[in-house]
Structure 1
């Protein structure tokens, strides 16, 4: 019997179901499809610093006046073809970052973080109306803390042993997206939906912080639902993709959407 025939016969056999392997896990987190969300644009938000040197100089001024800078960024997750996608911003067609920013010195952490998320992604004026426009951000677990030991670009997921006064701490928070939400991105940025497999081990393109997100999320189980809110899959598991997931441009940027999405 040929190998092809043997493989065909094997594929008809039901898989062997192992014993339960879900000990000490929290309840699955529900992820809604990308199509449930509405995306738009708003006025541009130019970068505060024209160069890396200017940004580090401003960091030093902040440290001299207020101490360590506190920064919060959000990991917003939805799904496409039952695969988790992370919503992130792209600036100048090159630089990727998560929504969020540094907190003002007088801000409380979570309230200040929500203000920063609104600055980046909340719709303005009467651009949109209806469900999901004014929903509060649901800030869940803190998934990572990155530390800047000096006035340099390097950040570490730990405080080096010789450092007693780090200059910045950046926290990455898991943001639980509701069933629907309206998001608006500044015109000078793009809002992307990036699949986990694109981020994984891709330090060269996304840097150490973003490429580590699949590791951070591996602790969770995800329940994927359709547009009507009906569960269709849960990890581990899934199913064959009708279309291969990929990076999608959702809003912003002067681009040909069909060309960017590979259509």
Structure 2
């Protein structure tokens, strides 16, 4: 039983936030096959990859929107990334969020409030496919990805790398849209169904 207090999320209007840019952050991989090849090398050195990603909610027209980073004109992803070996999940997600969305000035770092883990996904093999469970015949999964709710402050400044776009995508567009957003992002609306949204007009 999830208590209504622990699952309540305040969502502020998109207009409450200010967006700027910062130097580009180059992607380490230019293709999916490159990424999977690098994952294989890292697995040999460090074992299973552990990654954390953030669900950042804003509202427009009284409807929840998710902030997604867009690479090029097609590929979208949640802010986050791979943890260092032995790194704490919460601290690692804060580090990743700051590298993706905070200014380079130490005095203007957002106060990232990491909330509940909303979903866990598993990558059984060095392939793109991931599951919301670890298949029983897989004894050594290659990646575990956790999605966390991040409670945004009422006002914040985000600095987006110049080679990326930050999009606010409505939940209804994500729902069941696996072709556009993939299995992880397209199931966020179902994961969010257990949370109580409070639309705050600032």
Scaled by the length of structure 2, what TM-score is found?
A: 0.94
- Say yes or no: does 1:60 pair with 2:40: yes
How far off its partner does 1:184 sit? 1.0
Deviations 1:187-224 (A, max 9, x none): 11100000111111111111111110100011111111
Cα distance, 1:107 vs structure 2: 2.1
Q: Deviations over 1:6-59 (max 9, x none)?
A: xxxxxxxxxxxxxxxxx9651332111111111111111111012222211111
Q: How far, CA to CA, are the matches of 1:38 and 1:187 in structure 2?
A: 15
Aligned to 1:152: 127
Distance 2:52 2:139 in 1: 21
Structure 1 residue runs of 5 or longer lacking an equivalent are 1-22, 228-263
Conservation of the 8 A alpha-carbon contact between 2:69 and 2:78: yes
Please give the residue correspondences for 1:165-244 in structure 2 after superposition, counting only pairs within 5 Å: 165-227=140-202
How many pairs were matched up?
200
How far off its partner does 1:106 sit?
Answer: 4.2
Output the CA distance in 2 between the equivalents of 1:102 and 1:31.
27
1:1-263 matches, within 5 Å, as 25-27=3-5, 28-125=8-105, 133-227=108-202
Distance (Å, rounded) in 2 between the aligned partners of 1:224 and 1:109: 28
Aligned-partner SS, 2:117: strand
* TM-score, length-scaled by structure 1: 0.73
d(CA) in 2 for partners of 1:134 and 1:225? 23
Structure 2 unaligned segments of length 5 or more: list them.
none
Q: Which runs of 4+ in 1 moved over 6 A?
A: none
Q: Secondary structure at the match of 2:50?
A: strand
Q: Provide the C-alpha distance between the structure 2 equivalents of 1:71 and 1:182, rounded to a whole number of angstroms.
A: 25
- Judging by fraction of residues, say which structure has more strand: 2
Whose Rg is larger? Answer: 1
Flag the structure with more relative contact order, 1 or 2, with Cα contacts below 8 A and sequence separation at least 6: 2
Aligned in 2, Cα 1:218/1:51: closer, same or farther, shift over 3 Å? Answer: same
Aligned equivalents of 1:118, 1:135: Cα separation in 2: 8
Task: Work out whether residues 57 and 67 of structure 2, in 8 Å CA contact, stay in contact via their aligned partners in 1.
Answer: yes
2: distance between equivalents of 1:201 and 1:54? 28
